[in-house]
A and B are shown apart, each in its own frame.
Chain A
Amino acid sequence: DAGITQSPRHKVTETGTPVTLRCHQTENHRYMYWYRQDPGHGLRLIHYSYGVKDTDKGEVSDGYSVSRSKTEDFLLTLESATSSQTSVYFCAISVGLGQDYEQYFGPGTRLTVT
């Protein structure tokens, strides 16, 4: 499982409430990612990080913010959750160096916004 955990694994929240999802890795890899997965859309990149305090937006970043204060943790925050953010969220890491790298996924968090 490449040493990736996500918490919580399931969450139900109400519209307008803040939500934070946590991704934790045990092996100090530099690159970490947050994706959302929805039927018909595959995996879409929300934000990614290339080091502590170094983050960048992906293709669906509106309504989401991230923080990485430690190498091992990458947090995804929905400041004010909306029903359109109901989804399965996957964290991922890139393992390897230079041109020889691979991406592995965490177990996912199922978020329902009511």
Chain B
Amino acid sequence: GENVEQHPSTLSVQEGDSAVIKCTYSDSASNYFPWYKQELGKRPQLIIDIRSNVGEKKDQRIAVTLNKTAKHFSLHITETQPEDSAVYFCAASGTYKYIFGTGTRLKVLA
């Protein structure tokens, strides 16, 4: 069936360094790729997304890249700060149905 693989499952970086989280999807019909940030005990929050007609999108310190041929997309966080510590989820969507990755726990060490 359709699935989304996400790596790594945990990631520790020093404050100020960059973090990269990668996802691979299986459904060729997927055309929308959102990223969510979830803090402990809170709901997932949409932080950035990309659609299949775009290869890269940036919003301040976060960026997402998409390679449709390889079915890969990635989240890049630059100049990490302690408040970036959270669990991040990628997802792939075709027609209003979403498949999520299993999450990456990011720890930013001060």
Contacts and interface: CB of A to CB of B under 8 A. Distances in A.
Given A59-B1, A103-B34, A45 B97 contact: yes
Interface residues of B, number: 23
B43 A42 contact: no
Interface stretch (B13-21, B44-52, B64-72): B44-52
Contacts, number: 49
Contacts of A58: 97
Contacts of B49: 102
Nearest to A44: B100
B34 A43 contact: no
Where chain B touches its partner, the secondary structure class is strand
Nearest to A40: B102
Contacts of B36: 105
A42 B31 contact: no
A108 B103 contact: no
A99 B89 contact: no
Interface residues of A, number: 24
Interface in A39-55: 40-45, 48, 50
Contacts of A50: 96
A103 B49 CA distance: 10
Interface string A68-109: 000000000000000000000010001000010111111110
A77 to B, nearest CB: 21
A102 B44 contact: no
A31 interface: yes
B103 A42 contact: yes
B43 A90 contact: yes
Contacts of A105: 36, 43-45
B96 A41 contact: no
7 contacts: A42-B100, A43-B91, A44-B100, A45-B98, A48-B97, A59-B99, A102-B46
